[in-house]
Each structure stands twice: as C-alpha cells, then as structure tokens.
Amino acid sequence: MLPMYFLNIYKEKGITSFDIIHKLRKILGIRKIGHSGTLDPLAQGVMQVAVGNASRLLEYLDDDKEYIAEIKFGYNSTTQDEEGEKTFVAEPNFSEQKLKESLKKFEGEISQIPPIYSAIKIDGKKLCDLARKNHEIPEVKPRDITIYKIDLLEFRQPDFAKIKVHCSKGTYIRALVRDIGQSLSCGGYLTDLTRTKAGNFYMENSIKISENVEQYKLDPVNVLNLNKIVIDEQQYKKVMNGNPLKYSTQNQNEKKYMLIFNNRLVSIANLSDNILKMEKVFKTE
C-alpha cells in the first residue's frame, strides 16, 4: 500500500524541480511523487511535495505563493532573467515614490502574458523548447492572475530593487518584473528569486534533501485547509464502498470535507443537501 504524506522541500539554486523529484524517488523508493509548482533552476525556495497517495491531494492544497525577487532595471532579457541575452533599453530615472506607485498598479486581478521561456505547452510543445530551437513561437495568450500585495523591500538608485510578492498560483514573477520595467519605461529583468511560502508551507520550516527526509513527513490531515469530520467504523465501511453519508450542518457554505477514521484521512467528500458524496477514497492499513 502506498504511503500518503507531504514534504516541505527547500530547492536550492542550480537544479530543476524534476531533479528534486528524481532524487526523492531514489531515496524513498517510491515512484509516485509530485509537486504543486515548478521553480526555475535559477530560483530557490519552498516546494510542496506530495509522496504516494498524497499526489491525489495536490489540488486541495492552498496554492497562493510568496516570493522575494531582485530586479535590475535598464535592460531587457530574452529569458526575462539573468540567463538571457541582455538589451539596453534606457537609463533608469525614477524616484522611490514613483517605483512604489508603479508596483501598486499591479496589485489585484490582472492579465499577464507568460514568458516565452516557460514550460507552458501549446499544441503539445513546450514554449521554452521552441524558443531554444529558434522555432516560430505561437501566440501566447494572457492569463488572469491575482497579485494580493507587492512590498518594496529595498531600492538602490538607479537600477536595483528588491520586492516581496504575494500572488496566486500561475503567476510568473519574471513576467511581472518585465511588466514593471516596461511601466517605468526603462526595462527590467529578474536577477534573483526565492519562494518563501507556498500555501501553508513556509521556508523557515523547509528541509533540504537528505537520506533521512522521511522523518519530516507531514500528515495530510494537518496540511489540508479543509474542515474535518470524524467517522465511526460503520460509516468507514460505507465510505470504503463509495457510499454517501448523511451529514447535517449549519454551515452550508462549506462544500468539501476531510473524513477521518482512526486519525487517518480516508476520503475527500462533497456536501450537498446534507449528503456527503465521496470524491476520493483512500484505503488505510
């Protein structure tokens, strides 16, 4: 029987998110391992990693993200980060107040065009692969994202800034930096990126990969931000057969629940008309 737990992994610079998964598969001897969001090789920070059956729970994780990003103004980059070919745009010539005003404009629900050098697939092909092979790039459609807050942490005139960004899943910080530079009429690209938070996974609690990584496993019951219902043995047998359960509650706004038996997560269920219908079921030992 597959295990079911999460790991709060710290990805270091210079390796890919897939490298992390590959190493964990070797250490744990488990093939079924997934994660909630890719980090570029040049970036570092938190990765929400799901081991075994926890891979079926990734969609229920809180998926907002928080980043610390460093920006160099005055140039554009083909990859919108340190790796790409740089092109001079204009000498940066703005005050700290002007920069803060520009950052404020990006808060809220906005439309963002993802970078060409990204893993987004169009017609089954990754954009980054097409770009590296100098193939014709199809039109990249904008995506709706949410920037909850941007804080200016440091500004060294004329061309350096450090910002903290709290955003929704699917936000490309490279693209955000590109757009900030464009709004200031001088260009800009990302020079450093750290993901400090992903949902309720925080960098200060993250761990680097080691042989004893399993000691830091996180129970889905304590990770998922869903209401819990403790069920008895008779209800458990019904759940294992995929049968619905009756459940009355005053809180009709809550639609998804974790069903717990013997302190173990056994199902994710949807509530409708006082009936819990099983969305996913997990056998326990």
214 and 267 inside one domain? no
Query: Could you give the CA distance from residue 196 to residue 71 in angstroms, rounded to a whole number?
Result: 17
**Residue 119 CB contacts under 8 Å (≥ 6 apart), including other chains:** 38, 126, 127, 128
**Residue 176 CB contacts under 8 Å (≥ 6 apart), including other chains:** 69, 106, 112, 147, 165, 167
List pLDDT tens digits, range 263-276. 999 999 999 888 99
pLDDT at 130 over 80: no
- What is the per-residue pLDDT for 249? 79
Pinpoint the alpha helices (H) of the chain. 17-28, 96-105, 127-132, 173-183, 220-223, 233-240
35 and 105 inside one domain? no
- What is the per-residue pLDDT for 142? 86
Q: Is 179 a catalytic residue?
A: no
Q: Which residue segment(s) compose the domain that 260 sits in? A: 226-281
Coil, strand or helix at 21: helix
- What is the per-residue pLDDT for 211? 86
Mean pLDDT computed over 190-195: 97
Backbone phi, then psi, for 37, in 5-degree steps? 180, 130
- What is the per-residue pLDDT for 131? 45
193 and 97 inside one domain? yes
What is the CATH classification number for the domain harbouring 31? 3.30.2350.10
50 and 162 inside one domain? no
| Domain count across the chain | 3
Mean pLDDT computed over 153-170: 96
Mean pLDDT computed over 148-162: 97
Distances (CA, A) of 232 to 220, 225, 260, 270: 19, 22, 9, 18
72 and 31 inside one domain? no
pLDDT at 167 over 50: yes
- Tell me if 161 sits within 8 A of 149, measured CB to CB: no
Q: What would the two tokens of residue 140 be? A: 């990249």
169 and 213 inside one domain? no
184 and 69 inside one domain? yes
pLDDT at 132 over 60: no
133 and 177 inside one domain? yes
186 and 273 inside one domain? no
pLDDT at 137 over 80: no
- What is the per-residue pLDDT for 134? 56
pLDDT at 178 over 70: yes
> Taking all residues of the chain, what is their mean pLDDT, rounded to a whole number?
91
Coil, strand or helix at 125: strand
181 and 266 inside one domain? no
177 and 237 inside one domain? no
Confidence class of residue 283 from pLDDT cuts 50, 70 and 90? confident
- Tell me if 244 sits within 8 A of 276, measured CB to CB: yes
- What is the per-residue pLDDT for 248? 85
- Tell me if 110 sits within 8 A of 147, measured CB to CB: yes
Mean pLDDT computed over 117-137: 52
Active-site pick, 19, 40, 129, 159: 40
List pLDDT tens digits, range 208-239. 998 899 999 999 999 999 999 999 999 999 99
What's the whole-model pTM score? 0.90
Tell me the chain's radius of gyration from C-alpha atoms.
22
Mean pLDDT computed over 153-172: 96
170 and 190 inside one domain? yes
